[in-house]
Chains A and B, each alone.
Chain A
Amino acid sequence: MIETLKHLINTLAAPTIFLPLVAVLFFLVLHYYRLLSRPAVAGGILLAAVVFYAVSLLDNNFRHIVAKPDNVPITMMLFLSGFCVWMALRQAAINDERIERGLPPVEKEGNETIFVWPDLVYIEFLAAVIVGVLLTVWSIELKAPLEQPASPFKAPNPSKAPWYFLGLQEMLVYFDPWLAGVVFPTLIITGLICIPYMDINPRGVGYYTLKHRRMAITVYLFGFLFLWVTLIMLGTFFRGPNWNFFGPYEFWDVHKVEPLVNINLSEIIYIKILGTGMPSHWLPREIWGLALIAGYTFVLPILLAKTVLKNFYAKMGLLRYNVFMFHFLMMMLLPIKMVCRWMFNLKYFVAITEYFFNI
């Protein structure tokens, strides 16, 4: 019975199932936030998570991974992320309800002014002391996971990036290093920088709300919770030797073999569909992929501006709209590529290996 359950969870944790599941869950949470953020419900979820963790720790394989000194902070991060999201959603839910009833948000009621001393600085100082105590105890009790001297001939298996880069490392499964390691991180930074300049929504300033900023919050949280936190968790707990995927209760067997053959878009077109064989020059060979990517990046925003997003375009203006759409589409490239990989074993949309240009 327990073995069946473990097996089920192992199966569900496979990226092809796990990530879509998380995506669906994500939208469900944002949709039913009022219900889910009620203390009783949220408390229940927290309790379930804690029980799940505690019971799972009885499993050797689970414990080995989760209790590694390296991985302890990731567990903390998961619970803290959950807590912060709940805090925000809970207050948003209360405010949204009040707004529906015609009342101002909680934050607008009463005097918000407090004293710097002692209400701010004293508390900050206290926080520093408590965190100091926690860090000291942590450093005494959990030894730094030092390994033996690094060897140029021997990479640790799995070779993992620092935990905060595991999301980027997960992208490497789907994109080439120049994209996953250089372009996308740059776009993440420029995107974050651009947020204040693109925010022309006058509502929702100074108080928690989801109703008034649904699009902004959804897009941001999708990027943060789904494409960042979830991928870090996946990279930490589910990626084992040879970057193979392992379920939470699975033994990290170095010899595990997974089918890894993927094909390029050009092969799908020329060999599977047309059956003409591959053109020898890269341009005719990759023209389809190039057209597809160009269409996605440059034509799609125009089409959307003319049709579905007509109002949005009107509100944002040309420059803001384009900057936003560019970043947004680049962000969405990752889930799109994931789905294409899982469904069609797609390796690259564009594969100009002659010039190391692969997308």
Chain B
Amino acid sequence: MAQKPPADKYFRDMDAVHKVFFLSAVAMLAVILWMSWDDYDRDWKGYQRQFEKEERKRARAELVAVQSTLDQDKINQLKQDLKTEEASLKQNRAEHEKILDERNRSQARIEKKKTTMAFAKSELDAGRFQYEEHIKHGPDPVAKQRFDLLEKTYLDAKQELMREEATIKDIETRANAFTERRDQLKKALDRALKDRNLLQAKIEKLSPSPLKFLLNAPILDFVAPTNKIQQVPLPDLHDDYNFLVVEKVDRCHTCHLGIEKESTRDGEGNIVKAGYDLDEVKQPFRAHPRLDLFVGSKSKHPLDRFGCSACHGGAGQALSFLDAGHTPKTEEDLKVWKKKYHWKPLDHEHLSDFLWDYLMLPGDQVEASCLKCHQGVVEIPEAPALNAGRRIFEDYGCYGCHKTVGFTELRKPGPPLTHLQEKVSPAWVKKWLKNPKAFRPTTRMPRFFDLSNTSAPEDVRRSDAEIEAITAYLYDQGKPHTRFDDAPGAGDSARGRELFESVGCRGCHTLTQNPGEPGLIADKDRFGPDLAGLGSKITSRNWLYTWLREPTRYFEHTKMPSLRLTETEAADVTAYLIGLKNREFDAAPAPQGESTEVDAILRDAWSAKMTSTAITDKLRDMQPREKWVAAGQKLIGHYGCFGCHDISGFEKTNPIGTELSEEGSKDLDKLDFGGVHDIEHTRTAWFGRKLADPRAFDHGKIKDRLDKLRMPQFDFTEDQIEKLVIHILSLTKDQVRPERRRHLSAREELVEKGRRMVRDRNCYGCHTMDGHDGVIRAYYTEDAGLAPPILWGEGKKVQGYWLYEFLKNPGTIRPWLNVRMPTFGFTDEEATAIITYFQAMDDVQTVYRPKDHHRPNAELAAAGGVMFDKLQCMKCHVVGGQKPEGRAAGDLAPDLAMAKSRLNPDWILDWLSDPNQLMPGTRMPTYFTEGQSPIPDMLDGSAPKQIRALRDHILTLK
């Protein structure tokens, strides 16, 4: 063995080294403890403890409430009885115990016999196999004998057991006779105290205990902790990790523990049991505000099928506030979060893109997720903000330039410009292009010129020349197109105004007398253009006259219907509208392009492919007019005017805008923030700024004219921008598999098809239907009876034949109304689509049946006639030519002579029984309140019979 060297021969001072060793060992221990704690200490555990406390508090309160409702007398009585019973049981104790002993012995025998039988059974099973093996090649008597023996043993054992079981049953009956009453009392007592006992058990479970402490202690908590991560796997929803698509797993309710706990309320809405949906509950414990629709187990989107992150976004598996991708809704939230959670955007220190692409969608933006599953519908249910965004997108014709899935089959949003020389003057076009809002403040035509990146004087000069050039091209291409009729006479302007205000023009058009003043009609409800100052735009009486009489002559695909104005009426309205002038606009000078600028435009346009000397030569050879037209053509291509308008020469050109079909999931680094540094680096902020000032991202950039951003200015309001951003965010890559999306039933498909038509034709402009209020009703606040009818239950109400005829060729139903149902010129397909839409909405089966399939019973009809008079139906209703006397036009009720051909006989029954239910607020009185007849002495006083009689009478009216 080697000798230990003496300490003083060591190279280092060992005492010092030992000290270092001691210190580093202590440090190591400390660091290991720190590491364990760091691993153990999670926010969600704290939330779970806090929630436990909260639950305990509530359970205690509940316990107090329950205790006060207990029937103390009854309980005392039961307790007393139980005591007495126990006492009497004690007296018979010896006998009782004897029987119990007997039972125990029997029980032991049963156990023994059970074992015997089990052995015999397994022997038998094995023997059966052996026997089957033996007889494979013929009968074997020895084997059979052996098998029979086994079988007998088993059956004997079974018999034994059954006998013993019968015995024990008998013993138990005898034993129970002793305790029967006591058991009953005990049960009754338990029942009386059930709520209390349950709550007590719950409180016990929620209270801290040494065992619980141990189970949740660091390191020991791997065994069976009570604080656990809650998660819900969603097998057919997925997260796309690019190389791997994995099933979604949401753990949000690890902290959001009260998400499903609603308050229990009684019939009057008083809270019986407080849940977590009350205002005083703080996050993360708040219940979901719409448990009827989301999360709740009975809702359409239960937690275990949809989770949370499928709609809200964010990282569903994450367990910390920051990693989950919480996004503040308001500035206020942001401030609080920064303090409380050290919140920061989840990106690479603002340098690059996000660490998780699908951060939570704050506030109304969550509606953007609806589109993942709800596609192919005109309006997404329960998503008002998203629907508003989609509507704005459609109304303003964004899809004209930006190809977008779901909006590809819509008509070009603007009117055709292939023959605009027939309609307006070049001077008007130039002024309009310069600033459309100068002529019509509410127009949806955006402004292309003199915006934030083109407002320098030289840019304005250039813009004026561009306007000149575009106008030149449009007029150069204009070809004669329309056959015009001559307006008869000068027309009566006052009469025209009356007509305009009464026949229904205002269902689609407004006429703002004082621009800037908020009108009766909200922007979202405006369909056709505002007609103020129309005379400054349209100067040809024949044009307007022809347009009013037959709009499709000038514009085949117009949405403007014909109101069947007579020649005189049309002339009157023409006179009225042409007389409306916008003096300010008329007085403004039209922009004039300088001839030097047209050369500059062409130089810029050609410079990519031609040398400057070649351009100079070419320009020298061109006439000025030619130059303007050539420049105009280039510019229309540049600005993409043909995205919205039909323009000759651009029939097949693709729209110029970025496709938006997946814009909502576009990589952040593909959005050029340019020199804009005052906004957050988020999609929301970028889209918002782009919509507020489409040229904003040219700020601080030096660009050639043709390289500048060219999206025009729509002057969206903040609210519109917010809604549009939600819509854009909804346009994402497909993330939900087709089989998990919402599928429309055949009936719903029909509804959606019709709904599309109804929106395109602006039926909501006049009719209150399908969740929309008739816009025009705003003008009829004084006498709603003069407004166009409300179309509720129309599919049930009217006969398909009749509706078809009516849609194709509307006739008068309510003679007292001045407002007219327009002639839309529906094709057969379109008319059918609308009829099936109404019927599908009311779940009416489309059945072809003979026109007279309901034949009124003559006897009943006669009785009905008597009732008809008694109930004074004709006090309001028109019947054929007979009008009720002394009633104002708005107070009349529909002509009953039309009922036979128009109404569904079944519907008349429903209507007569309870009109208010079918159309709340109707002026039709309810005669048969709660099934009681008002005329007890007819037809046995039976309400159903009387209603049938009335119906049959009505169907005989002529």
Interface residues of A (CB under 8 A from B): 64, 68, 114-115, 118-119, 122-123, 126, 129-130, 132-133, 136-137, 140, 146-154, 156-157, 241, 252, 254-255
Task: Tell me whether B17 and A118 are in contact (CB under 8 A).
Answer: yes
A123 in complex: contacting residue of B17, B350, B672, CB < 8 Å: B17
A149 in complex: contacting residue of B5, B17, B243, CB < 8 Å: B243
Bound CA–CA A132/B30 (angstroms): 12
Bound CA–CA A136/B29 (angstroms): 11
Task: Tell me whether A133 and B356 are in contact (CB under 8 A).
Answer: no
20 A-B pairs (CB sep. < 8 Å): A64-B349, A114-B10, A115-B11, A118-B12, A119-B11, A129-B27, A132-B31, A133-B31, A137-B34, A147-B348, A149-B243, A149-B244, A151-B242, A153-B242, A154-B667, A157-B352, A241-B352, A254-B352, A254-B669, A255-B674
Bound CA–CA A44/B352 (angstroms): 38
Bound CA–CA A115/B27 (angstroms): 27
Task: Tell me whether B242 and A149 are in contact (CB under 8 A).
Answer: yes
Task: Tell me whether B10 and A136 are in contact (CB under 8 A).
Answer: no
Chain A: which residue is nearest B677 at the CB level? Answer: A251
Bound CA–CA A156/B352 (angstroms): 8
Task: Tell me whether B672 and A137 are in contact (CB under 8 A).
Answer: no
Bound CA–CA A132/B31 (angstroms): 9
Residues of B near A132 (CB, < 8 A) are: 28, 31
Chain A: which residue is nearest B39 at the CB level? Answer: A140
Residues of A near B242 (CB, < 8 A) are: 149-153
Most-contacted residue by chain B among A118, A137, A147 (CB, 10 A): A118
CB distance from B771 to the nearest CB of A (A): 41
Task: Tell me whether A140 and B35 are in contact (CB under 8 A).
Answer: yes
Interface string of B328-356 (1 = CB under 8 A from A): 00000000000000000000111111111
Task: Tell me whether A150 and B31 are in contact (CB under 8 A).
Answer: no
Task: Tell me whether B672 and A255 are in contact (CB under 8 A).
Answer: yes
Does B118 interact with chain A (Cβ within 8 Å)? no
Which stretch of B18-26, B391-399, B777-785, B909-917 is in the interface? B18-26
A115 in complex: contacting residue of B9, B21, B354, B674, CB < 8 Å: B9
Chain A: which residue is nearest B346 at the CB level? Answer: A148
Task: Tell me whether A126 and B11 are in contact (CB under 8 A).
Answer: no
Residues of A near B25 (CB, < 8 A) are: 129
> Using a CB-CB cutoff of 8 Å, which residues 20-64 of chain B contact chain A?
20-21, 24-25, 27-28, 31-32, 34-35, 38
Chain A: which residue is nearest B672 at the CB level? Answer: A255
> Using a CB-CB cutoff of 8 Å, which residues 724-775 of chain B contact chain A?
none
Bound CA–CA A68/B348 (angstroms): 9
Question: How many residues on the B side are at the interface (Cβ–Cβ under 8 A)?
Answer: 36
Bound CA–CA A173/B355 (angstroms): 28
Answer whether A149 and B21 are a contact pair too, CB < 8 Å, given A68-B349, A136-B35, A140-B35: no
Bound CA–CA A357/B585 (angstroms): 70
Answer whether A64 and B24 are a contact pair too, CB < 8 Å, given A133-B31, A140-B34, A254-B669: no
Task: Tell me whether A126 and B21 are in contact (CB under 8 A).
Answer: yes
> Known pairs A64-B351, A118-B10, A154-B667. 16 more at Cβ < 8 A?
A64-B350, A114-B11, A119-B12, A129-B28, A130-B27, A132-B31, A133-B31, A136-B31, A136-B34, A136-B35, A148-B355, A149-B244, A150-B243, A151-B242, A157-B352, A157-B669
A129 in complex: contacting residue of B5, B24, B38, B348, CB < 8 Å: B24
Interface string of B422-453 (1 = CB under 8 A from A): 00000000000000000000000000000000
Bound CA–CA A122/B27 (angstroms): 17
Bound CA–CA A328/B144 (angstroms): 96
Interface string of B86-128 (1 = CB under 8 A from A): 0000000000000000000000000000000000000000000
B32 in complex: contacting residue of A119, A136, A241, A255, CB < 8 Å: A136
Interface residues of B (CB under 8 A from A): 5, 9-12, 14, 17, 20-21, 24-25, 27-28, 31-32, 34-35, 38, 241-244, 348-357, 667, 669, 672, 674
Chain A: which residue is nearest B241 at the CB level? Answer: A149
Bound CA–CA A136/B20 (angstroms): 18
Residues of B near A140 (CB, < 8 A) are: 34-35, 38
Bound CA–CA A252/B352 (angstroms): 9
Residues of A near B10 (CB, < 8 A) are: 114-115, 118-119
Residues of B near A64 (CB, < 8 A) are: 349-351
Task: Tell me whether B354 and A148 are in contact (CB under 8 A).
Answer: yes
Answer whether A126 and B357 are a contact pair too, CB < 8 Å, given A149-B243, A255-B672: no
Residues of A near B12 (CB, < 8 A) are: 118-119, 123
CB distance from A251 to the nearest CB of B (A): 9
Bound CA–CA A154/B357 (angstroms): 12
Bound CA–CA A150/B244 (angstroms): 10
Residues of A near B356 (CB, < 8 A) are: 148
Bound CA–CA A132/B14 (angstroms): 22
CB distance from B937 to the nearest CB of A (A): 82
CB distance from B544 to the nearest CB of A (A): 52
Bound CA–CA A195/B244 (angstroms): 47
Bound CA–CA A60/B348 (angstroms): 14
Answer whether A126 and B24 are a contact pair too, CB < 8 Å, given A133-B31, A136-B35: yes
Task: Tell me whether B669 and A147 are in contact (CB under 8 A).
Answer: no
CB distance from A270 to the nearest CB of B (A): 25
Chain B: which residue is nearest A137 at the CB level? Answer: B31
Residues of A near B27 (CB, < 8 A) are: 129-130, 133
Bound CA–CA A255/B697 (angstroms): 13
Task: Tell me whether B17 and A133 are in contact (CB under 8 A).
Answer: no
Residues of A near B674 (CB, < 8 A) are: 255
CB distance from A239 to the nearest CB of B (A): 13
CB distance from B11 to the nearest CB of A (A): 4
Task: Tell me whether B32 and A152 are in contact (CB under 8 A).
Answer: no
CB distance from A153 to the nearest CB of B (A): 8
Bound CA–CA A149/B240 (angstroms): 9
Residues of B near A152 (CB, < 8 A) are: 242-243
Residues of B near A129 (CB, < 8 A) are: 21, 24-25, 27-28
Bound CA–CA A130/B28 (angstroms): 8
Bound CA–CA A149/B242 (angstroms): 7
